[in-house]
A and B are shown apart, each in its own frame.
Chain A
Amino acid sequence: MTQAILFVVLLLAGTALLSWPLGRYMTWAMDPQTGSGKTNGITAFLQSLGGSRENQDWKRYALALLMFNLVMFVVAFAVLALQPYLPFNPDGKGALEGSLIFNTVSSFTANTDLQHYSGEVAMSYMSQLSAMMWLQFVSAATGMAALTALARGLAGRQLGNFFVDVQRATFLVLLPLALVVAILMVIGGMPMTFNGSAVATTLEGVQQTIARGPVAAFVSIKQLGTNGGGFFGPNSTHPFENPGFWTNVLSTFAIVIIPMACVWMFGRIIGRMRHASVLFVVMLVLMSVRIVGAVSFESTPTRAFESLPITQDVGNLEGKELRFGAAAGPLWAVVTTSTSNGSVNAMHDSLNPLTGLMPMIGMWLNEDFGGIGVGMINMFVYMIVAVFIAGMMIGRTPEYLGWRVEAREVKFAMMALIAHGFFILVGTAIFAATAWGAGTLNNIGPHGFSEILYEFSSATANNGSGFEGLGDNTVPWNVATGLVMLLARFIPIILPLAIIGSLSTKRRATESSGTLSVEDGTFAGMLTMTVLVVGALTFFPAATLGPIADHFVTMK
């Protein structure tokens, strides 16, 4: 247990420390002339490459973002639809079913990477690389661009140009990091080949077909871009997708480093590092509580083995790999759902019921640290609500960074938060009540309900992990979660940009001693309470029917 604690603490602390210099670099990359109005050489090059240089207002910025994402969707859809006719298909993968293509393309466009297919079974190398992996780069870049624009707006500046921002995020931030991590992954034992499956004759004389492929390049950006979509079906539990202890450490680091650095980048662009520190601490605490919960709940041994002559001293190992060590599974389960990544190194369906609740809470809150860019944007939405409530309590006009928060802004913020709960709960209710969901379960009772609840939570939070026992490659699941992923991606990006558009028409007040500080413990407490109250009130009933009931029924 001491080893487990040491492992978790060192890994988190190391990542948090490194997020500081990365945040500094990202600020230079995304917003090189912070406030100066000058244009550097890189910006000029990207302006001519994208053929777009003008400053966009929030509507044009949002429109450009949507247009680019539409093109992403169409291009990737075409690649998947044409799979049998395209090259780099050594194992001769065939055509894909229409609703599965829709779901997959929606999923990767929305930075979700929910997968209703198994990579090594269904996809050619061409599809994996030029549809999925490409979307893993540009969808993450879309989120980072949106956050940059939002922060510029809060700083009282113009929002910038989406096409320049998305290229900065892709070429200056994601690409160099992905290259370094991919090279470390390949040295750590991950395959990187364009040859098709190998066929082995085992020691006992049986034929074993071993799928492989250009895994390292794919997995690197999968982790860094809060994507999470695996090259292989069982994601990072697969020995080729996570060969050893140290690739697992590197992967865990890669999952959370950019979302952490996004907070520092936000702080630098708005010029308020103390405020960013408060946000960072709030997020870190919310995440750490769930990590402690998950690691301790998962030390309960597999209940199904209790009546058999099987040792009961090692915790629950069903669905886990031995090479990562004892705490790696529950730690990863929390960070991957805290950051909207969604890759897994242990099967979440086989986690103990209360351990399985921890990732669900992460997806319900969806802001500590959240997906690239969008996690910080979600926190901004919570802050709008928090300062509004605080302002009402002390009878003052609510302000955030000197911007007066009024009915219009709060309405937009509430719409974004309500949409999140609406998609999860209404979707779960419909599928739990009909054969669409009830007919696809792998487990009975409350655990089966948890499978449906998790699936909609994952789709809505743009996470992508799952209780994978669910037989989710059906037309109703593909269409419903495909639509939910797209709506739950773009509504919480567009509405906050609209808030910025609305704030920027107002005159900014200077902060005085009478202004509610956003840099102290009171604010941190107020924000934490807002996050928890909104999260708990919305999702507590569903949690009771799922994992909590599951715990009391089966674990007694």
Chain B
Amino acid sequence: MNALLSSLRVTVATMAICVGVYTTAVWAVGQAVVPDTAEGSLITRADGTVVGSRQIAQAFTQPQYVWPRPSAVDYNGAGAGGSNKSPASTDLTDRAAKTVAAYGATADNPLPAELAAASGGGLDPHITERAALYQVPRIAEARKIPAAQVEQAIKGAAFNPGGVFTSDRLVNVLELNIALDEGSAR
């Protein structure tokens, strides 16, 4: 009986401090120091509508946009997930064949693997700089602008996520596409 009573007392104490006080403290720091990312890194237009989150991939299928990695959940921001297929699965081969066709990749101009492989959460906001440059001819043609201008936008947006520990420079697909839209409008 004493053990039950003590269990209840420890439950109340830990619940109050670890759930109540701790969560409030972390929330308060987030709202005070980094309110933007604490709210989910949302990108808002001048009229207040939300375009998306910098951290969350969204679907791009039109030719004038840089396309993100495939998503096993069709870029569902409220139900993320991966394909969970064996890397040797024929389902993956079939899916990748469709991606290859969409990009028009050939043996002479093979598709970078990151554009064929779906990410774990299906919401990876990045592709490599290499994979973005691969898409330049299509984008330049659709936007009727010089390829060099698209390349410049990509190289300007590319960053190295881990300094000396990573070699692949990445670009954020949504931010890059917003920049391309703004550049074309100018």
Which residues of chain A have a CB within 8 Å of any CB of chain B? Answer: 3, 6-7, 49-52, 63-64, 67-68, 70-72, 75, 118, 120-121, 129-130, 133-134, 137-138, 141, 163, 166-167, 170-171, 174-175, 178-179, 182-183, 186-187, 189-195, 197-204, 206, 208-212, 214, 216-217, 220-221, 232-234, 237-240, 243-246, 249, 301-305, 307-314, 316-326, 344-347, 349-353, 442-443, 447, 467-469, 550, 554-555
3 A-B pairs with the lowest CB-CB distances in the bound complex, closest first? A237-B120, A469-B84, A554-B88
Query: Which of B14, B27, B177 is within 8 Å of A214, CB to CB?
Result: B27
The reply on B3 being an interface residue by CB < 8 A is: yes
Residue pairs across A and B with Cβ atoms less than 8 A apart, 12 shown, are A67-B3, A170-B14, A192-B29, A193-B40, A199-B50, A211-B78, A233-B81, A237-B82, A239-B57, A245-B165, A310-B100, A311-B111
Contacts of B26 in A (CB 8 A): 179, 182-183, 186, 192, 214, 216-217, 220
In the complex where A198-B42, A305-B93 touch, is A344 in contact with B120 (Cβ < 8 A)?
A: yes
Chain A proximity mask over B143-186: 1 for CB below 8 Å, otherwise 0? 00000000000000000011011111010001001100100000
Contacts of B50 in A (CB 8 A): 198-201
A514 CB, nearest partner CB in chain B, Å: 44
Chain A proximity mask over B25-60: 1 for CB below 8 Å, otherwise 0? 111011101100111111000000111110111111
Contact A191 B85 (CB under 8 A): no
Contact B113 A302 (CB under 8 A): yes
A325 CB, nearest partner CB in chain B, Å: 4
> Cα distance A166–B128 when bound, in Å?
47
> Cα distance A328–B170 when bound, in Å?
16
The reply on B96 being an interface residue by CB < 8 A is: yes
In the complex where A234-B122, A310-B110 touch, is A554 in contact with B4 (Cβ < 8 A)?
A: no
Known A-B contacts: A68-B3, A244-B161. Give 9 more (CB < 8 A): A6-B164, A7-B162, A51-B6, A121-B79, A179-B26, A189-B37, A193-B39, A237-B119, A314-B113
Contact B89 A211 (CB under 8 A): no
Chain A proximity mask over B82-112: 1 for CB below 8 Å, otherwise 0? 1111111110110011001000011101111
B66 CB, nearest partner CB in chain A, Å: 11
> Cα distance A447–B86 when bound, in Å?
7
Contact A67 B87 (CB under 8 A): no
Contact B6 A309 (CB under 8 A): no
Contact B53 A319 (CB under 8 A): no
Contact A234 B40 (CB under 8 A): no
Contacts of A190 in B (CB 8 A): 37-38
Contact A309 B58 (CB under 8 A): no
Contact A234 B161 (CB under 8 A): no
Contact A345 B120 (CB under 8 A): yes
With both beta carbons as reference points, the residue of chain A lying nearest to B178 in the complex is identified as A203
**Among A174, A221, A310: residue with most chain B CB under 10 A:** A310
In the complex where A64-B6, A309-B110 touch, is A243 in contact with B55 (Cβ < 8 A)?
A: yes
> Cα distance A245–B168 when bound, in Å?
12
> Cα distance A549–B14 when bound, in Å?
47
> Cα distance A301–B116 when bound, in Å?
12
Query: Which of B13, B31, B82, B113 is within 8 Å of A305, CB to CB?
Result: B113
**Among B22, B41, B53, B77: residue with most chain A CB under 10 A:** B77
In the complex where A234-B82, A305-B93, A309-B100 touch, is A134 in contact with B15 (Cβ < 8 A)?
A: yes
Contacts of A64 in B (CB 8 A): 3, 6-7
Query: Which of B14, B65, B76, B178 is within 8 Å of A204, CB to CB?
Result: B65
Contact A323 B126 (CB under 8 A): yes
**Among B61, B80, B118: residue with most chain A CB under 10 A:** B80
Contacts of A550 in B (CB 8 A): 86
In the complex where A186-B29, A210-B78 touch, is A167 in contact with B14 (Cβ < 8 A)?
A: yes
Query: Which of A199, A301, A308 is within 8 Å of B97, CB to CB?
Result: A308
Contact A71 B14 (CB under 8 A): no
Contact B126 A322 (CB under 8 A): yes
> Cα distance A163–B92 when bound, in Å?
52
The reply on B139 being an interface residue by CB < 8 A is: no
With both beta carbons as reference points, the residue of chain A lying nearest to B61 in the complex is identified as A204
> Cα distance A240–B122 when bound, in Å?
12
In the complex where A63-B3, A198-B53 touch, is A210 in contact with B40 (Cβ < 8 A)?
A: yes
With both beta carbons as reference points, the residue of chain B lying nearest to A346 in the complex is identified as B120
Contacts of A197 in B (CB 8 A): 77-78
**Among B88, B113, B127: residue with most chain A CB under 10 A:** B88
The reply on B142 being an interface residue by CB < 8 A is: no
With both beta carbons as reference points, the residue of chain A lying nearest to B114 in the complex is identified as A317
Contacts of B17 in A (CB 8 A): 170-171, 175
Contact A208 B75 (CB under 8 A): yes
In the complex where A163-B10, A311-B111 touch, is A186 in contact with B49 (Cβ < 8 A)?
A: no
> Cα distance A443–B82 when bound, in Å?
14
Query: Which of B34, B59, B170 is within 8 Å of A187, CB to CB?
Result: B34
In the complex where A170-B18, A314-B114 touch, is A322 in contact with B58 (Cβ < 8 A)?
A: no
